[in-house]
């Protein structure tokens, strides 16, 4: 999921030329290292994988929640950190009336976090 999210964000910015807002950049900072961390953890069969993935996925998830609250105007745009550049509420895609770039980010972070919590419980149960 981290790889697909990273590839997707690069596709949106580099191929489709959608400029990322500041919150998108912060979410990228949390997501991109997860590709390497998860890959190495899986290859090494590291049972501590959740301990170094969960901090990044949780922080990224919180940023994604905040971004979605801004995007769907649950909190005012004046609370956005996007003072310069592209607005955090710019609509580039809206598939099926609900799937947006901030939504995709949130879904990815939730999925990764849930997988790590599940794996942690599985390891502790053994």
Domain tally, the chain: 1
- List the one residue out of 57, 47, 29 whose CA is nearest residue 125: 47
Report pLDDT digits (tens) over 11-54: 999 999 999 999 999 999 999 999 999 999 999 999 999 999 99
What percentage of the chain reaches a pLDDT higher than 70?
A: 99
CATH of the domain at 66: 1.20.1550
For residue 43, the enclosing domain spans 2-125
For the chain, what's the residue count?
126
The gap between the terminal CA atoms of the chain, to the nearest Å, is: 26
Would you say 125 and 87 are in contact if contact means Cβ atoms under 8 Å apart? no
Question: Would residue 77 be called left, alpha or beta, if left means φ above 0 and alpha means ψ between -120 and 50 degrees?
Answer: alpha
Main-chain dihedrals φ then ψ at residue 86, nearest 5 degrees: -70, 145
Judged by DSSP in three states, 24 sits in helix
Predicted TM-score (pTM) of this structure = 0.92
- pLDDT, mean of residues 51-66: 98
The pair of structure tokens assigned to 53 is: 């993935």
């Amino acid at each position: 999921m981290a790889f697909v999210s990273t590839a997707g964000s690069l596709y949106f910015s580099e191929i489709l030329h959608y400029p990322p807002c500041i919150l998108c950049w912060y979410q990228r900072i949390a997501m991109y290292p997860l590709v390497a961390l998860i890959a190495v953890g899986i290859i090494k069969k590291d049972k501590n994988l959740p301990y170094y993935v969960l901090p990044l996925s949780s922080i990224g998830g919180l940023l994604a929640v905040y971004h979605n609250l801004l995007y769907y105007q649950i909190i005012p745009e004046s609370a956005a950190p996007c003072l310069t550049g592209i607005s955090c509420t710019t609509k580039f895609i809206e598939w099926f009336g609900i799937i947006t770039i901030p939504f995709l980010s949130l879904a990815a972070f939730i999925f990764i976090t849930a997988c790590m919590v599940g794996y942690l419980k599985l390891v502790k149960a053994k």
